Structure 1
Amino acid sequence: MQDVWVRTQSSISGSRAVRADTIVQVKWDSQSSQSLTLVVAGGDEVHHQARPYGSGAHPLTKDDGTALADGLLSAMATSAALPGSHLLILHNGGDVASNATGLQWCRAAMDDTGEKSAH
């Protein structure tokens, strides 16, 4: 796998970048502030809030969360096939997102400020 990182964000642990090749499982945790849980090698868990606290957006369903988890895995695989270093960021894509959540994984080169859809 090329140099691919995932940026996570939570109100408890702040922002963190996780190497994609250390992620062994991605799961949706609908009971914990609607967050994705990334299990990394060694058993540590990193949480990423899909919706910020106090957000006026509708809560995500289990199917929405599963789609976001699957989307991350797909974005990791797509990015790994590209040269260079990449950072995956969950972005509010609004109407341009390919799902009902309005969220999509975007890819940014580690040395670039522009974000592009990861698919």
Structure 2
Amino acid sequence: MSYYLATLVYEIICGEGAHTPQFEEQVRLLETGSRTEALNAAHEIGQQELLVWQFNNSAKVEWKFLGIKELISLPGFFHGAELYQQHREIEHAEGYRNFVKDKTIQLQHKQEHAIDSL
């Protein structure tokens, strides 16, 4: 089996859609036997997670699956493997340093089953 990262893209439509267009990108981990199977699995997940609901009993909110933006084959996993990196230029560096320290403390005190943002 191989691992893939698939980026699924949804359009978020509120009411009649008379608003600034909104899109959501989700990165999903897939374990499949081939690239074709990974594409099929990503498409299936995208179709399964379509969502429509009424907001405050008035405006309809819809997540419309647009497609798969990216499919990346991952090399073998190992402890400490780098999956993502991002470089930032921050004007208020001390504030960013404090933010990172605070997030580290929060993560150390959360329960095992808590979901943390990336």
TM over 0.5: no
The higher radius of gyration belongs to 2
TM-score, normalised by the number of residues in structure 1: 0.27
Relative to total residues, which structure has the larger helix share, 1 or 2?
Answer: 2
